[in-house]
Structure 1
């Protein structure tokens, strides 16, 4: 039974994997300077990212229910939990190395692990109870958000009034609701099958074959069956590819975008807007003129060189 799975779930998860790779490719284009820096934070991109996360959590909820359709198989459950939690820990460690000020401390994998624990009471319960729990978590941020949850130790709950600086943010509220919604749908499917079977009108949804059809050996099903490995591996591979691309064809400096973000940070730090604008514009133009960033692929070194140019520009424009 551990190898049996519904092909539809594999296909759905495979589509989510494709969407995830597309999303992160766009994010990397922005990060490495080939697209506007504000693109990943635009409304369409944020909606795209949220829909991908919702799909993964929803499918995880359906799959969890079907995996324990007859009884909770504790050994399989804890094995899966350990794998997902371990993968989440790897994401935290990896992102801390690359983004120490914005590392992932409660992303999609952390949420799947925690939400799976919260879903345990509903795996054998009537589906309306899982649906009510899903609505509770989905509506939670609107009902219970408070500054009292703004502490770093409580933000993972998702009830804070400010969003932390992190590369992936899927707190318990509202995202557990997506997994519980999948549990509710899975339980409803099983309940319908049981009633149909009892009435002589049908049987439970047929258990998937151990031997996949030729269609189920396609690339989409392959992605769905290996989604966790692909999730962990795809960003390091994309980063390596873009790093090589930067070395071969350095991206042009987007002067307008750089100046806007630089000015905003300067003003937020207490600088005068006119001095901030002049200094940031000077930094961008001087970086282009001197070709200071050409061939520099290391982000820390790029930042150091920009800081040096910025300091000279600020000194120039801050003089009376």
Structure 2
């Protein structure tokens, strides 16, 4: 029988930190989009490395959450309910981005990646310590792919939209958000492995399941628990506000 599941507050705090960092990043992106600042979010290392760090924190935290869910014997019915929410949100992102960026819409962004990786990570949850080298292998494949494609030009097919979601590419696709399986599945696998280790040896590192947090901490925990809703709403709200501000200048 499935156990009752409880969220651990430090995981939600990590997720909230990623959300706030992402919000600041997107706010600056929106300012640039409306011409209020001049930045290159696609090539400037100051921005590209921030994006890498934000996505890494998101996916590592998702892996931690899956470790807790597996430890608490989350039933497949509940898993699929949450998965459906993520997949539905990914579809909304694609549709909305088609309207705003018709030539570079999002077809495999962070939510699309999470939807796929949640299934993979759930199915491999019992692999234990093997998730560490497997994660490293997936990350290594990302960097080995360009060398392999230079040696075997037939592999250029992996650059096409039908296959570039795997991440085995030597040129970036034209899209506003791109989170392929390589290297990012490796990051989520490491999150799962780290969570399983912590649950066995340092469970207090992941926090408490009680609801005693107050003030700012309580607000951050709540943000972490409603991260999907926040993710979907924050950009439309900010874009509207920035656009309004630009009209007033």
The two structures share one fold, judged by TM-score above 0.5: yes
Contact 1:71/1:124 (CA < 8 Å) preserved in 2? Answer: no
Contact 1:136/1:177 (CA < 8 Å) preserved in 2? Answer: yes
1:204–1:17 CA distance, 2 compared to 1 (3 A):
closer
Q: Which residue of 2 aligns with 1:102?
A: 104
In 2, Cα distance between the equivalents of 1:3 and 1:233?
27
Aligned-residue Cα RMSD (Å) equals 2.1
Which structure has the larger Rg over C-alpha atoms?
A: 1
Q: Which residue of 1 aligns with 2:214?
A: 214
| Matched pairs, number | 239
Deviation string for 1:35-88 (max 9, x for gaps)? 114255311111001100000000000101101104352111111111111111
Q: Which residue of 2 aligns with 1:62?
A: 64
Contact 1:27/1:40 (CA < 8 Å) preserved in 2? Answer: no
Q: CA deviation at 1:92?
A: 0.5
Deviation string for 1:95-124 (max 9, x for gaps)? 011111111101111111111111123312
Q: Which residue of 1 aligns with 2:10?
A: 8
Q: Which residue of 1 aligns with 2:198?
A: 189
Gaps of 5+ in 2: 150-155
1:152 counterpart (161, 183, 192): 161
User: What's the secondary structure of 1:119's corresponding residue?
Assistant: helix
Contact 2:11/2:207 (CA < 8 Å) preserved in 1? Answer: no
1:207–1:178 CA distance, 2 compared to 1 (3 A):
closer
In 2, Cα distance between the equivalents of 1:85 and 1:225?
18
The two structures have a TM-score, normalised by structure 2, of 0.88
Q: Which residue of 1 aligns with 2:35?
A: 33
User: What's the secondary structure of 1:153's corresponding residue?
Assistant: coil
Please state if 1:42 is matched with 2:60: no
5 Å matches for 1:31-180? 31-39=33-41, 41-71=43-73, 73-126=75-128, 128-145=129-146, 146=149, 147-180=156-189
1:53–1:230 CA distance, 2 compared to 1 (3 A):
same
User: What's the secondary structure of 1:41's corresponding residue?
Assistant: coil
User: What's the secondary structure of 1:162's corresponding residue?
Assistant: coil
Contact 1:138/1:175 (CA < 8 Å) preserved in 2? Answer: yes
The two structures have a TM-score, normalised by structure 1, of 0.70
Q: Which residue of 1 aligns with 2:223?
A: 223
Contact 1:59/1:182 (CA < 8 Å) preserved in 2? Answer: yes
5 Å matches for 1:154-303? 154-192=163-201, 208-214=208-214, 218-249=218-249
In 1, Cα distance between the equivalents of 2:206 and 2:163?
43
Identify the range of structure 1 (217-226 vs 170-179) with the bigger mean alpha-carbon deviation. Answer: 217-226
**Relative contact order, CA 8 A, sep 6+: which one is greater?**
2
1:26–1:180 CA distance, 2 compared to 1 (3 A):
same
